[in-house]
Structure 1
Amino acid sequence: MYEQTIIGLDIGRSAVKAVAFANGQEAQVTFPSLVCHAIQLTDENSIRAAEPETVIVEGRKYFTGDTARLQGGATSSIGLSNDWTETPEYQALVLSAIKRLSRIGVPGLDTAYIVVGTPAALYGQQRDRLEELTRKAAPNADVKALSQPMGAFLSFFLNQKGLPVSEHLTDEVGRRKSWAVIEVGHFTTDFLLMKEGVHIDRKSDSCEGIFMAAEQLGRILSAKGIDASPVACEEALRTKKIRHFGVRDIAAEVAEAAEFVVAKIMTKTNALLAAEAATVDGVLLAGGGAPIIHESLLKQWPHVMLLPEPRMAVAEGFCRFGKGQLRKRAAAITAKHMEAVNA
């Protein structure tokens, strides 16, 4: 049924997450969204280590991920603007994700069904262009763009086969359930409302993401004499530690920085969803920054649900959507064949 390889691709501004499905097996890769022009390396070990993370865009070599950080000196994530997908760096990250999947044995990548995402507020204006730009990196692939929070929703709503989970679809009396989604990413926090199975356009919007907390953490640490790069601050938000003459615990500083962005996210959350929160069946929380705001949101709305592996939820949902689409294609082909046989 799934003859075509499926890739759910979440090109985040902090990390790239990819979930692929081929020949009945699922595979995942994730790496930092770091890109720089490749430089000439002389050490043989360094050359071998860099090769898996080196790609060519329009005839020019780029380092990606940790190689961009270590060899190229990249210190900040790319894409802190709405039009960053127009850059060669976006192409480099798509190619790097495909190359990494190939290296772990995923077949059929040249003709894969690829699902990619945009921030909720930009979906209408960027969908077609994002599909076009992704095809530049994978010209023989089928490409479909969805909004980021829709990916998170689908990771919850669909099962591993790409079919709706019955208890998430209707209640015991057959009423269609309603769900809100908050996907806390690096550059944007995205919102989605599915009311009785219908996507409510006016509730799809975006606000600041966790990068503001990373920036604030950098300012807090600088005031204490600790010079930390944006990449180091982004990592510290998750680990609550930083390297500064050894490994230092900075849990208090991370909490202070998180409060700065949580207040902004909560303001937008209330503006968009406060009127709906009491009537939906649950508020789904996803994205790499989800654990940072989980407790604050839970105090307000007790039916908030932190999705399993929230950082991978968008890519996983995209992959499950792809499975569902290929099932529909197979069913349509079968039905057409039966019509021909019975004609």
Structure 2
Amino acid sequence: MSNPSPLYADPVEFAATRHRIVINLSGGKDGLIAGAMAMDAARQAGVADRVWTAHASLGPMEWPAVTVDGVRWPSASELAAQHSQALGVPPERHIEVRRTREVNGERVPFDLLTFVAERGDWPWLGRARTCTGPWKTKMVYQAFTPQVRTLRKETDGPLMFANVLGMRADESTDRAAREMWRRTTDNSARVVDEWLPAHQVTTEEVWEWTIDAGLPYHWCYDSHPGAKDRRGSSRCSCSTCTLANNRDLMLSAGRRPRLAELCALVERVRQVPFNPNITMAEIIARSRRRDAPDPGVVVEENEDFERMERDVHAALQKPPTWESKARTGLTTILHTPAGCDGCAVAV
């Protein structure tokens, strides 16, 4: 696999100093190219055997698999595993983590939307990013704790980790300001440096590299699965990311109407808008207009989604655990045009 030349000095020297290089794969295009660049540096440094890949699953909030005309298009989690193999990482060095909690003595999935419903607040930019730390970073760190304990017996001083992310300057002003290397953890057990190998690679270059290399990418990027036109979602993140642009959100509402309605229910009951600039109710209404982007496919939600749906409804029967400063106190503006079918929750 070929990849663009690193745009920063000494990535090979940096890779050589790491006990573990962890490439975070979301199933999206950016993690794949960042992973390829990190793997190239690791190979040149002779430490490719120290590279692991990790996927922090958001469960039903991720883009799921769909089947169209008898062809099955993989979910984000499945594609992350495929990307790991494409990078040359053995299956035993790819891990998938997902947040759980104990209920009645049993470990069960704990989903982000359930947490939002319980808390009564959405993760906006500039506020507590409850969708990243506890659901992604913390889960990946915990997964490597057993290795830290084992390796520390063989190593003097803390273990040196590289946390490889697919963030690029093209994506936002905030990400443009990020450094290629940033120390995020420094204690007696481990030192973690965030590494953004593809930070200066443009979106056009990402797609050119992906297509030229013949690598698989997620169906959500296309206008419909298999179109190969990259006219769908601009990013393969959480299906209803509060930071997504309006077009992506309208596509999501059209492609996953049950998820959109569930988000609108949380928004209405908790009286906190999905986004400071637009409500989910408004997004749903716009997705139904004649000038809205064609979703191309409508997801048939699975049992995992239905379990989350039940959990969200149960959470909304109780008071929120957090008093959000964004609470409007106005419920009428948060009703979806179609209302709330089957909702037993009182406002």
The TM-score bracket by the shorter chain reads 0.3 to 0.5
Per the normalisation by structure 2, the TM-score is 0.33
Per the normalisation by structure 1, the TM-score is 0.33
Higher helix content, 1 or 2: 1
